[in-house]
Amino acid sequence: MRNGKKNNYPKATLQLDKLVMCCLSTLEDNFNDAIKYYPEESLKPIHTFGKTVLTQTIDKSRRYKYSYNVCYADYHIGRLDFCVFGQPHRDEQIWFTISNKTFYNGTLQFLPQIFSDLNLKLNNITRMEIAHDSYHHNHEQVLRRNIRNADNLLKIMGKNVKDRKNRTSKIKYWHYGSPDNPFQVRTIYIQNERLVNYPKKKEDDRNIDTEPNKKKKTNEKKSTIELAAYNKLEEIKDFSPYKTYILDYHKAHNPNFKNIHRAEIRLESEELKRYEKKHKKPITLFDLLDKKFLYAMFCEYVDRIIVVRDNKKRKIDLYPIPCLESWEGKLPLPLPEVGYDNQISENKEVNNFISNNDFEKEIYENDTIYSKPIRVNNQFYNNSSYEKKQKLIRSNQTKNQQLIKRLKESQFWQTPFTPTQRQDSSIYDKVLGNY
């Protein structure tokens, strides 16, 4: 990718490097409900919804009961997690963690189709990182030298630094190297410490006055914004040699690059909610795919974290303008049309009790495969699943009738008053007259 002139490659790029989203179902009974309430569905290793395929996996953190790898067009996109252990009130939430490789191979553009296939909507963003990579501009060195320059005026986290001799925990320096040169690789972290208010959990009435519940804290200090400046190429060589796809991504932009200097903005959910409240607009999936939106967000948070001015109070630019053109990357081959036509024919035979929802149909005008209205999630809404639900309801009704019959035959049975009997005053007179 070039910027107009011959051999004039971009000097910097901008892309997402981490994204964790909290999603909700747009259907009352979606795939996550079927997996939770039907053991036969939870035991299936693979679930297919159009071009989106869910493959069962195990959550290494052991926090979620169900975890599935998400693939679109035979390409890994991320992981879905739901049903947090010990938190039944969060069973409706689904966490979608995007794979790091997805940001560098052009498959992030499939997110809207995946959300449509799985009948999901974006509730909020749990964690997001925006990376600014430069090939010549050393972010860490420029930032460190401007911070140490006594003639410069510093403003960190919205507050002017008046006394440069006072120690601060907002700026952290980290380095490693050889015994002769321990400062060979350097990193700077600038982060805030914000008091986060967590909602109080509903306690049992029997345990309200107990001593352990009185000691529970609902507030704690947490870093919600962080700026990290480091050498990404050295980090890949020393700690992440498997991330060769990042090198391929930068070779496509600038084949002659020799170094990758990164400035990274890391945002937590509390800060992202504050951003949406400030701009009075929620962050959408299409915003995440727009590099101009990401660059505006990056600039805003860099200015919130640190502002450096010279002795004439002129603002010093800490980073170059990146290339904001879209890059498609090497996309995988599409699925064969024969297999997907079978999926369309199966989707036609779906029960009528979900046919009134408009969001279950997606029409794609530019693709011959999607030339017909497609019904998604047919795997859980076919006739066999509906019959199982009705059979379970009939079984419960039969058990209730048998229980009432046994109670009536018992010697301790007392006929309850019906609403018609309560309105008849003569019945009350007869009953009270016996006492």
Domain ranges of the chain: 1-16+126-200+212-335, 383-433
Which whole-number Å values give the CA distances from 91 to 184, 204, 377, in the listed order? 47, 20, 19
Specify whether the CB–CB gap between 68 and 56 falls below 8 A. yes
Which tokens hold the place of 39? 């053991």
pLDDT digits (tens, 9 = 90+) for 309-357: 999 999 999 999 998 876 544 444 343 333 333 333 333 333 333 333 3
Chain centroid offset of residue 285 CA: 11
Residue 197: the pLDDT is: 64
Whether pTM exceeds 0.85: no
Q: Give me the DSSP letters along 180-228.
A: S-TTSEEEEEEE--EEEEPPPPPPPGGGTTSHHHHT---EEEE--EEEE
Joined together, the tokens standing for residue 252 give 């496509």
Q: Which position has the token pair 């969001």?
A: 359
Token pair 């937590």 in the structure block, residue: 268
Residue 414: the pLDDT is 54
Residue 423 has pLDDT above 80, yes or no: no
What's the CA angle centered on 13, arms 1 and 246, to 5 degrees? 85
Here the tokens at position 211 are 């001593």
Quote the tokens at residue 430.
């007869």
Q: Please measure the distance between the N-terminal and C-terminal CA atoms of the chain and give it in whole angstroms.
A: 96
Instruction: Say what the pLDDT of residue 117 is.
Output: 93
Contact 110, 73 (CB under 8 A): yes
**CA pair distance 181, 200, nearest whole angstrom:** 50
> From CA 427, how far away is CA 346, in angstroms rounded?
60
pLDDT of amino acid 155: 94
Could you tell me if 321 and 10 are in contact, meaning their C-beta atoms sit under 8 angstroms apart?
no
- 27-63, pLDDT tens digit by residue? 888 898 889 888 888 889 999 999 999 999 988 888 9
Average pLDDT, the chain: 78
